[in-house]
Every structure is written in C-alpha cells, then in structure tokens.
Structure 1
Amino acid sequence: MTQEQFDYADLLLPHNYLGRAHDFYAASRMLPNFHPGFMPMWPQLALFGLAIELVLKGFLLSKGETAEKLKKSYGHNLQKLHSQSIELGLPENPRSERMISFINDTYAIHMPRHPDPQTRHRPVATVPQFFEDYDRLVQSVTEMIA
C-alpha cells in the first residue's frame, strides 16, 4: 500500500466523519444572525445539514458501507442515509426523523446554496429548534460505533 492510499483510507474512518460533523455543527451554532427576524438563515442550514450528513455517513462506514456506495446510492439525501442507518441498527427516534425530514426538504436539493424561484413555496425549518435532536443523534451514533 502506498502512502497516498493509506492517508486516504485513514480519512474514511467513521470517527473522522464524526469529528468533521462536529466542526460543521459548531460553526452552524456560532454564526451571527445576519438578518434578524428573517428566516431561514441559509448558511446555518447548509452547515447543519452537512453535519447531519457526515454523522450518518460515519455511522454507515462503521457498518461496512463503502465511500463509493455512500456517494452513488445516497448522495446528500439525509432521509436515505437515515433510513439505511436504521436498517443497519441505529435506534429509531421520532425526533431525529422529524429533524431529518425538515432539514432534508431543503438540504437535499441544495436550496441553501442555490436560490430557485420554483421552490420558494416550500416551508423551511429554522435550525436552532433541532440542536437538541442533533445532539441526541450524535450520542446514539457514537454509542453504536464505540
């Protein structure tokens, strides 16, 4: 195995995904409210969605899924990632399902990064209401892969 292959394989460790998820989650919590009274706050939604995605992908890697399958079969679809995680043993939690459903509606279609007039009618969830649910999800995943 070459040094490049070893370094890349090391990056695919589930704990590295969780560490990066933590970074994006922390960043989403520290953002100032750029437009008080105006929601959603798109940068926060993008960072929070990415944190959820990385937590779920880290869990799936710990259960034997490959990076290739994560990319091709699930992409950025949080609901698909969550469903597969439950199938592979992650405990079901109605609050996590609710959080993922709300965030996925905008995150999976890249609404935080790409404004689209055709999707303006979609309801958009505010992120802070889900911080405790995210913490519970991370705790469950951490316990399952420890």
Structure 2
Amino acid sequence: MIELKEVPQEKQQEVKNFCNLNNVLFDEAAISHIVLDSSNILGVSQLKVENGIAEILSIFVKEEFRNMGFGDGLLKMQINYCYRNSISFIKVKKGLNDNFFKRAGFVEKGDYLVLDVQAFYANLKCQQ
C-alpha cells in the first residue's frame, strides 16, 4: 500500500539515508514528507519554515516511480502543511522544476516562484 506522510523529526535518519543515496539535498531542520510503499521510500520532499514563510527545498521521486502523481502528492502535502499552520506563502528557487510548480499555481517573483496558500485553496474546484 502506498502512503504519503509527514516524517516526525526523531525519525529523520531514514529520510537522510534515502536523500544521500539519491544525491538529494537534505536539511535536518526541515519538515519532511515521504511516499512510502511498505517500508520502501519512493520519494521525499522537504520544506523549511523561517519567519512565517515556507521554502520548498526539494521534491524528489525515484525515476521508476515518476509520472504516477507522487510529486503532486508531495507538493500538496507541503501546501496543506502550510495551510494548517497558518503559513501564507510558499516559495521555491527558480530552476528546481519551474513548470511543475507553475502548473500548481506558483508565480514568478524575483529569484523565486511563490504560491499564496489561501488563494490556492480558494481556487480549488471540486470535480464530479
């Protein structure tokens, strides 16, 4: 069974090992979300919050599991985390995967792509 979940701070070592094996940036102080199949990590994302603004540090899915919606799921978990914690804006440095973030509603602002979290949820439309 595939799960997407937040990783408690005390269980970050497994995420760090995955990031090291896949040459992905890892920040011990960041909030980590993972895609998990049984005990195998398929993807990871990290979000750092400073001064009320969140910055996406990474979203990574192993090559053989891409184009299955896991990256979108990780991004939505990050957005939901910000919404639940009253964080109004999320930013990501340009060049990480600009088209991926623009499709989700991020807009260019200087060296970053930025998402207004409240506007993101206000623009959601339920599909039948």
TM-score interval, smaller chain: under 0.3
Instruction: Find the structure with the greater CA-based Rg.
Output: 1
Structure richer in helix, relative to its length: 1
Structure richer in strand, relative to its length: 2
TM-score in terms of structure 1 length: 0.25
TM-score in terms of structure 2 length: 0.27
